Structure 1
Amino acid sequence: MATDPLAPTLFVNARLIDPATGVESQGGLLVSNGRIADLGPGLRPDAAPEGARVVDCRGDVLAPGLIDMQAFVGEPGAEHRETIASATLSAAVGGVTTLVSTSAAFPAVDDPAVVDFVLRRARDTGKVRVLPMAALTKGREGKEIAEIGLLQQAGAVAFFDGAHSIRNALVMRRAMSYARDFGALVVHFTQDPDLAGGVMNEGEFALRLGLSGIPREAEAVVLDRDLRLVALTGARYHAAILTSTLSLESLSAAKAAGLPVTAGVTINHLTLNESDIGDYRTFLKLRPPLRHEEERKALVAALAEGLIDVIVSDHDPQDVETKRLPFAEAEFGAIGVETMLAAGMRLVHSGDVSLPRLLAAMSSRPAEILGLEQGRLQKGAPADLIRFDPDEPFVVDPDLLHSRCRNTPFDGALLQGVVKTTMVAGRIVHEIAP
């Protein structure tokens, strides 16, 4: 007889980590009706209610499922690169239980009907939760503000023009003021398009490779402008991806001044640097570009101390035709949702970031910023959970990943951190047999 997917589940012998509080303990956790019913050291197999499934975690970590605040899901319009079905399967295998999709669809997610389409497709074909961001401006063209109120009512959780940075300061000010009136979150890609005409980080390494560079200032000048507009308007603002010490200095000053600002960093910029590009490896051609090692270390330190709020995968599938090209001609972007946690474990094993802090940047902090119930290991919280072994090694084989594309920057890398169980709202959506 098949097991009832909504029957109670009791996890025992687990290393429980609640990133929302930083509390870590040994014990068990009971799931009932899609929520956490109980947890603690007293929960053992004999405490299982009738009909419950008992999962022996054997010392593995049990934590809230990850929330990826920036991922391209392909629908509508780019199903050859990714679909909601394939993106959410990759997410489930990687321990991500909530995907926040970007507005970079075709057409852009700038109409309530498109928001509704994404939500319905996710309901029908997705393995994990999908929450759409909508465009901040119509067509993501940076000219006319989108209908933020209507889009929010339709289900948009934030407003983001993707990799299209808004040039016009007046448009940005109006967008912030409009968003503030609805309590909406403005997410912005801080890169001056006029300064960012290159293909990798500006510096000595780019000169040696004969490639045009993108200076750190391309990011910093837009962030500085935006932070002044936040002070002017009072809007909630999230810098999508920061990569440099110049930006970190501005962010620190803004937070010290009490401005409602947060910031993200990609797992790639935390664990890789420009030298990894090596002999023109196009899978590491990213937007913004990978920076110098000293910049990477500064990002890690900012994450550890809480200045950087969240880690994102910036999952951006590109097919062979756009990546198997000379570096200068190849498309920007890499896949990453499936390897985000394991790549992040590099920072834990190196001693640079604690495991609770890493998990907080991937779960509880994104939940706080987006106003979600998920991201905490507490009674009554949604049972979006992951069980993983932080030490189990594996080699990244692109052919075994579940995205429709294979452009991973970790091709052939040895990583640690195998996700054994992923649960969404009390349903197991990924499991490795013991």
Structure 2
Amino acid sequence: MKMILKNCKVVNYDNILKEINIIIENGIIKDVTNESIEDAEVIDCSNLIAVPGLIDMHVHFRDPGLEYKEDIESGSKAAVAGGVTTCLPMANTKPVNDNSSITRYMVDKAKEVGLIDLFPVAAITKGMKGEELTEMGDILEAGAIAFSDDGLPVMNSEVMRRALEYASQFGSFIISHPEDKNLAGKGVINEGKISTLTGLKGIPDEAEEIMIARDILLAKLTKAHMHLAHVSTKGGVELIKWAKSLGINVTAEAAPHHFSLTEDYLTDYDTNYKMNPPLRTEEDKEAIIEALKDGTIDVIATDHAPHHKDEKFVEFDNAAFGITGLQTLIPLTLKLVEDGKIDMKKFVELTSYKPAQILKLNDRGYIAKRKKADITLIDINKEYIFDEKINKSKSTNSPFFGKKLKGATIYTIKNGKIVYKFQN
């Protein structure tokens, strides 16, 4: 099968090509050229920007066991509608993804759906109980790519040390959910001005920063790769910067909601703004943006966390943590571009190139000859309402639902095939 993307503006992390054609054959980019070919499907990319298919290192697809929130099919559809062609779903399924059978089920189901590449993040410990390590080698052979007890941090430092050592023996790594659960307690929002005003129990920055510090030091001890999930505080950024200055093998991610929103949105008790880690202050938000700009934070990952409406339409204390994020990834990140915080090359670096490098997926993350034909075509000026018609997830728990967004995926191409086309 042949395809030609004509008149493209191609943006990679290190270059921009204008009025160029991308020739695709058998799922691979055959050439990026001024020439054309015959007998091929044609997409006119005038007024569109071509970027490598986005890679989301942190999603929750709830499958198996919690499919009423999301499943691998609906999650895949939300992903490609958001321009994402590769996803890493976390292990907090039901049962927990702590063995090769569940990992294999997830990989096989994603292949059957056929929209994205899915690389499961399996549990660090059995049952995510923080006690006994999983059979990492067996799980990696089944298709997993990394390990995390996301949502239930490994509180025992000895267990986390052994996890780092064990994973590194297989060429894999650990994704930490940095939260001291004892200090966070029953907190539901950021501890500070808004928690005082609302009477809601707060979670201090230090609940995150203590564990970031611990995990950095464990990475230093083991010389293994530690990836820090959803960093949300200025102090956390400073700790990561310090670790990188010492050459410690640490990478980090930030979620779009943490560089787009602050705790000030919580004064009306809207549970769609309830997430973990919580929305922080303006100072924290600006620190995250600066860290994305200067490379302290390596990637943007959505922490896509769908929930049934009944799990949000309750008292704030009882509402589930988390928001959907796959279909708001592009518009929220493009807002940083529009505001002059980052440029389009940095956009690509944060959402595609650097994730590919961290995951050692050298066949993607860059538009060039012989790379996998995973390409997202974006209209950066497209305005639309993010509503039921646009939404592909089973869930609608997003503070951006019903709002006007700017910047849309117009086509998503996976392995040389169109898997999504925008229809308003």
User: In the aligned structure 2, how far is the partner of 1:428 from the partner of 1:400?
Assistant: 17
Distance 2:77 2:292 in 1: 28
Q: Is the 8 A contact 1:346 1:415 kept in 2?
A: no
* Candidates 398, 402, 412, aligned match of 1:422: 412
Deviations 1:280-315 (A, max 9, x none): 110010000000011101100110111111111111
The offset of 1:369, in angstroms, is 0.4
Distance (Å, rounded) in 2 between the aligned partners of 1:121 and 1:236: 29
3-state SS of paired residue (1:167): coil
Structure 2 Cα separation of the partners of residues 297 and 276 of structure 1: 16
Contact 2:233 2:288 in 1 (8 A): yes
Provide the rounded CA distance (Å) in 2 between the counterparts of 1:119 and 1:203.
Answer: 42
2:106 partner SS: helix
The one-letter code of the counterpart of 1:137 is T
Deviation by residue 1:35-54 (Cα, 9 ceiling, x = unmatched): 111003x13xxx113x2111
Select the residue among 62, 74, 96 that pairs with 2:62: 74
Distance 2:304 2:313 in 1: 18
Shift of 1:15: 0.8
**1:214-272 alpha-carbon deviations (Å, 9 max, x no partner):** 00000010111111111110111100111111111110111111111100011110111
Matched AA of 2:342: V
Confirm whether residue 139 of structure 1 aligns to residue 127 of structure 2. yes
Shift of 1:144: 0.7
- Counterpart for residue 10 of structure 1: 4
Distance change >3 Å, CA 24–CA 303, structure 1 → 2: farther
Q: Could you say which residue in structure 1 is the equivalent of 2:350? A: 361
1:38 matched to which residue of 2? 31
Contact 1:180 1:233 in 2 (8 A): no
How far apart, in 2, do the equivalents of 1:112 and 1:279 lie? 44
Distance 1:330 1:74 in 2: 17
* RMSD of aligned Cα (Å): 1.3
- What is the CA distance between 1:400 and its match in structure 2? 3.5
Matched, 1:401 2:391: yes
Q: Which residue of 2 aligns with 1:65?
A: 53
2:72 to 67, 84, 91: 84
* Partner Cα separation in structure 1 for residue 217 and residue 26 of structure 2: 46
Whole-Å Cα distance in 2 between the matches of residues 154 and 250 of structure 1?
Answer: 35
Normalising by structure 2, report the TM-score.
Answer: 0.97
Contact 1:399 1:406 in 2 (8 A): no
Higher mean displacement: 282-291 or 346-355: 346-355
In structure 2, C-alpha distance between the alignment counterparts of 1:325 and 1:79, rounded to whole Å: 21
AA matched with 2:49: V
What letter corresponds to residue 344 of structure 1 in structure 2? T
Q: Pick the aligned partner of 2:377 from 387, 390, 396.
A: 387
In structure 2, what is the equivalent of residue 29 of structure 1?
22
Deviation of residue 277 (structure 1)? 2.2
Q: What SS does structure 2 have at the residue aligned with 1:270?
A: helix
- The alpha-carbon deviation at position 126 of structure 1 amounts to 4.2
SS in structure 1 of the partner of residue 95 of structure 2: coil
Which of 152, 160, 170 is 1:172 aligned to? 160
Q: Which amino acid in 2 is paired with 1:29?
A: I
Other-structure match for 1:4? none
CA separation in 2, counterparts of 1:316 and 1:432? 23
Is 1:82–1:404's contact at 8 Å kept on the other side of the alignment? yes
Query: Could you tell me which amino acid in structure 1 is paired with residue 415 of structure 2?
Result: A
CA distance in 2, matches of 1:26, 1:188: 42
Q: Cα distance, 1:398 vs. partner?
A: 4.5
Q: CA contact under 8 A between 2:88 and 2:120: conserved in structure 1?
A: yes
> How far 1:399 moved relative to its partner?
5.5
How far does residue 124 in structure 1 lie from its aligned partner after superposition? 1.0
1:88-237 matched pairs, under 5 angstroms: 88-197=76-185, 198-237=187-226
1:70-110 deviation digits (Å, cap 9, x = unpaired): 11112110110001111111111110111111111111111
- Structure 1 residue 23 displacement after superposition: 3.5
The aligned amino acid for 1:411 is F
Deviates more, 1:268-277 or 1:284-293: 268-277
Q: Could you tell me which runs of 5 or more consecutive residues in structure 1 were left unpaired when the two chains were aligned.
A: 1-6
Identity, in percent, stands at: 35
Find the residue that maps to 1:194 and give its secondary structure. helix
Mark the CA change 1:192 to 1:398 in structure 2 (over 3 Å): closer, same or farther: farther
Q: Structure 1 residue aligned with 2:248, among 236, 259, 266?
A: 259
Matching residue of 2:286: 297
Deviation at 1:207, TM superposition (A): 0.5
Cα deviations by residue, 1:12-33 (Å, 9 ceiling, x for unpaired): 11111012x2444331111111
Q: CA–CA distance in 2 between the matches of 1:260 and 1:388?
A: 33
Moved over 6 A (4+): none
Which secondary structure does the structure 2 equivalent of 1:428 belong to?
A: strand
8 Å Cα contact 1:183/1:236 also seen in 2: no
Q: Aligned pairs, how many?
A: 422
Aligned to 2:73, the other structure's residue is in SS state helix
1:281-292 alignment runs, 5 A limit: 281-292=270-281
Query: Where do 1:230-245 residues align within 5 Å?
Result: 230-245=219-234
User: Residues 95 and 341 of structure 1 are in contact (CA less than 8 Å); yes or no, is this contact kept in structure 2?
Assistant: yes
The gaps in structure 2 that reach 5 residues or longer are: none
Contact between 1:10 and 1:28, CA under 8 Å: does it hold in 2? Answer: yes
